[in-house]
Amino acid sequence: MDRVGVGLAALGCAVVWLCAVPSVAFADRKEDDARVVYCLDPARGPDMVRAAVQLDVAKPVTGEPGRLLPGPNRIRTLTVEQWYDRHPKDFGRVCEAVMAARQDAPAPAKDEAGGGVRDSVLLAAVGVVFTLFVQFVERGTSRRGERLTALTGATGTFSYEAELYLTAWRENTRSPHGEVATARTALAVALRGLGLPGERGRAADDLGRTLPLPDPLEAVDAKSAGGARSWSPDERLAEIGRVRVELSATVAEARELTSWAPVWHLRRYVRRFRSSPPRTTSPTPSRTPDHEPRGGPTTGA
């Protein structure tokens, strides 16, 4: 459910943003158009030239108030229209200065539908959707942290109880199994509660179903050739060693599930690669020359 909420919030944020950006860009373009029309008016040519000279972006042309020498070299005479085409950055700077100094300059453009209000509403909507998106992410991160903490605690408890049981079983093969069974169930629940997607989720479920020590260890060796008999001390140690190997692998696998997904997949791939048997190639049989029979060379009588 959290992943669905995050996806919807992200989609809503993208849609609102796509609606807001063109609107803001359209308003900016209309304002730029109004500025250009105002400053390219032939009646304001001398004002533009004087402002350019005062701002040190051009030199005046003697006897021609509507022309100027712009650019770094200032050797080519241009009209204001030509200056706009070839040096738009300097033109825009001077135009803004002229508009700020003149009271008859047009106000910033707004479309008839109230573009300023619409832009404000859209930008506010972007902020709201983004806030919801952040809240969904934080909530999902918090829940994931709680689940990982529960898994870490359950893994440690199961490992501890299993070790206590094995130590007790070494001395008494009829030692109680209840505590380790409870810890095993708690670990299985924590593994299922991770809610991991894809292959990691299947690995967590499989691990929860195959945890060691589902039942008490046998009190006697029922597989003995001569029938059931008591375990010898060495046999008990061997059985404990076998269970400890399974327990160690289980704990390591459970802890790996708490790692970052790419790290988990990389480790799984490395294990599969190392455990795969090497390829063996069968020896190529030697070829028999075409001029000799397959039984070998023959000699004449």
pLDDT in tens, 97-132: 888 887 666 655 444 444 556 667 767 777 777 676
Instruction: Report the candidate in 153, 163, 216, 159 with the shortest Cα–Cα distance to residue 189.
Output: 153
pTM for the model stands at 0.47
Span 92-104, pLDDT tens digits: 888 988 888 876 6
Q: How confident is the model at residue 133 (pLDDT cuts 50, 70, 90)?
A: low
**What is the chain's alpha carbon radius of gyration, rounded to the nearest angstrom?**
41
C-alpha 169: how far from its chain's center?
47
Map tokens 């910033």 to a residue. Answer: 108
**Tokens 């796509």 — which residue?**
18
* pLDDT, tens digit (0-9, with 9 covering 90-100), for 45-65: 888 888 888 888 888 888 888
Q: Assess contact for 174 and 219: CB atoms under 8 A.
A: yes
Where along the chain do its domains lie? Answer: 2-122, 147-272
Q: Which two tokens stand for residue 110?
A: 């707004």
Q: What is the pLDDT of residue 241?
A: 94
Cβ neighbours of residue 264 closer than 8 Å, sequence gap 6 or more: 200, 256, 257
Euclidean distance between CA atoms 239 and 242, whole angstroms: 5
Written as six digits, the tokens of 184 are: 């095993």
CB 213 within 8 A of CB 177: yes
Degrees to nearest 5, angle at CA 268 with 267 and 270: 65
Length of the chain: 301
CA 90 to CA 253: how far, in whole Å? 66
